[in-house]
Structure 1
Amino acid sequence: MSVASWVVIFWKAWLLRRAVADVARGTALFWQSASIDDARQALPAFDRNALVLPLVEATQHPAPGPLGASGAPAVQLTRVLRDALHGVLHRLQFGQVLLATVGSTAPFVGLLGTVWGIYLALTGIAAAGQISIDKVAGPVGEALIMTAAGLAVAIPAVLGYNIFGRVIARIEADLEGFARDLRDLLAGAAA
């Protein structure tokens, strides 16, 4: 659990650091472009994690649907942008479940080790027929180490989950605002 958590923590830290910069650069490039087609051509070089680009590309060839065919292009555009946004957010949130699971279960695994160590200490006392510090110290010391190991695994996972959750929420808000502005731009151009 520790190795998996640290791999996800380092990978997500790298990914989200780039994603924050990509969203800022991608949206700025889009709004500075002369046309949507110019932005579609320029974005791949600046949007390495493909966060803004899928939203722009989704507006290029929206799939016809019952609402689009019935004369509600704004509704269809909203649906296409929402689907593209969900795809981007799904990629950003990858690994969050692992961190949450490790953060919530690792202390209990450590606790299981603690209980097992105390059980061994008590069976050692029972087998010896007398209480001595050497029969108790070893298993109880191991039990305390198991508790510390469980916490050492859980704490980074919980911290990573919380920090990355905040960064993802900020990116999500930026992308939702961009999608809303893009929808308003395209809906206004169609009207």
Structure 2
Amino acid sequence: MPIIEMIKQVFVQWGASWVLWLLCALSLASLGIIVERWLVFRGKQDDIRRLSALLEEPLASGDFPGALVKLEHQKSLGAMVARAGLRLAPRGLTAADKGMQGALALERAELENRLAYLGTLGNNAPFIGLFGTVIGVLLAFEELSRASGVTSGRSGQIASSSIMGAIAEALVATAVGIGVALPAVAAYNYFQRRIARMLSEAEALSNLVLAYVSARERGLSAGAPVTDSTNAQASLAPSRELEPRKMSEVV
């Protein structure tokens, strides 16, 4: 028996119903992932303005341990990244920057977990439905070949209904494939936009922390105005100029 005839017989015996069951199983899995990812994103989301205001006072006074205490029970993305930088702040600006970059990469990997399934399903579910359509059309032609000798009577009506049923099954497979793909694609795009927004907010908060770490590393107090040091330097200048005059007067 030729290989084509063998494959045709397998498709004729199995039909296209298994494709529909496969699409239903894939759809249930995608719905579970959507709900699970939504809960994860909800736990990682936070108001970046509130976090900035929460850290402003301890960072302005150089109290990095106090800022860590304020972020101790925070589970948001920005808090996790800022906490990594504050732990390494005593080791310098570079260490704090690298620590926050590493934490940001880990958080991003956690957020993107299982999203590849949604993207893959959204791209391939229509093709799975099309595969079921091809099988349905194959069944329709098989029924048509069997009914080619029947021209009238009840047998002809039965053959005609069998052919129409096979064609309907083929169209249902295409419709189900598109129906499975649409929610997966919509959820994938939604989560990708949320990831981009959350990473941008976390980067803004990390830049705020790095600004205070840099100020401390340069020996500047974030709470002290720059004019005080300028006035102090100006007050020392006349004293340095008076010393030669006094020596000349003694001579």
Per the normalisation by structure 1, the TM-score is 0.83
Structure 2 vs 1, CA of residues 82 and 57 (structure 1 numbering), >3 Å: closer, same or farther?
closer
Partner of 2:181: 154
Tell me the alpha carbon deviations over residues 77-117 of structure 1, each in whole angstroms, 9 at most, x when there is no partner.
32222111111111112122111011111111011001110
Structure 2 vs 1, CA of residues 147 and 28 (structure 1 numbering), >3 Å: closer, same or farther?
farther
Structure 2 vs 1, CA of residues 142 and 88 (structure 1 numbering), >3 Å: closer, same or farther?
same
RMSD over aligned CA atoms reads 2.3
- One-letter code aligned to 1:110: G
**For 1:21, what is the secondary structure of its paired residue?**
coil
**For 2:213, what is the secondary structure of its paired residue?**
helix
Distance 2:76 2:111 in 1: 10
| 1:14 maps to which of 33, 39, 62 | 39
Partner of 1:40: 68
| 1:116 maps to which of 115, 135, 159 | 135
CA contact (8 A) 2:133 2:171 kept: yes
CA contact (8 A) 2:100 2:206 kept: yes
- One-letter code aligned to 1:109: I
Partner of 1:173: 200
Deviation at 1:49, TM superposition (A): 4.3
Partner of 1:70: none
Distance 1:23 1:91 in 2: 20
CA contact (8 A) 2:81 2:202 kept: no
Distance 1:115 1:32 in 2: 67
What are structure 1's unaligned runs of at least 5 residues? 65-72
CA contact (8 A) 1:51 1:88 kept: no
**For 2:75, what is the secondary structure of its paired residue?**
coil
- One-letter code aligned to 1:9: I
**For 1:52, what is the secondary structure of its paired residue?**
helix
CA contact (8 A) 1:22 1:48 kept: no
Distance 1:23 1:101 in 2: 32
Distance 2:173 2:140 in 1: 14
Partner of 2:82: 55
Structure 2 vs 1, CA of residues 50 and 174 (structure 1 numbering), >3 Å: closer, same or farther?
closer
Per the normalisation by structure 2, the TM-score is 0.65
Deviation at 1:32, TM superposition (A): 4.3
What are structure 2's unaligned runs of at least 5 residues? 1-25, 151-158, 219-251
Distance 1:25 1:90 in 2: 25
Compare CA radii of gyration and give the structure with the larger one: 2
Deviation at 1:50, TM superposition (A): 5.5
Query: Does 113-122 or 82-91 show the bigger shift?
Result: 82-91
**For 1:15, what is the secondary structure of its paired residue?**
helix
Distance 2:46 2:57 in 1: 16
1:99 aligned to 2:118? Answer: yes
Distance 1:183 1:107 in 2: 48
Query: Does 27-36 or 82-91 show the bigger shift?
Result: 27-36
Partner of 1:79: 98
Distance 1:23 1:99 in 2: 28
Structure 2 vs 1, CA of residues 83 and 31 (structure 1 numbering), >3 Å: closer, same or farther?
same
Identity %: 27
Tell me the alpha carbon deviations over residues 136-179 of structure 1, each in whole angstroms, 9 at most, x when there is no partner.
21111111111111111110000001111111111110001111
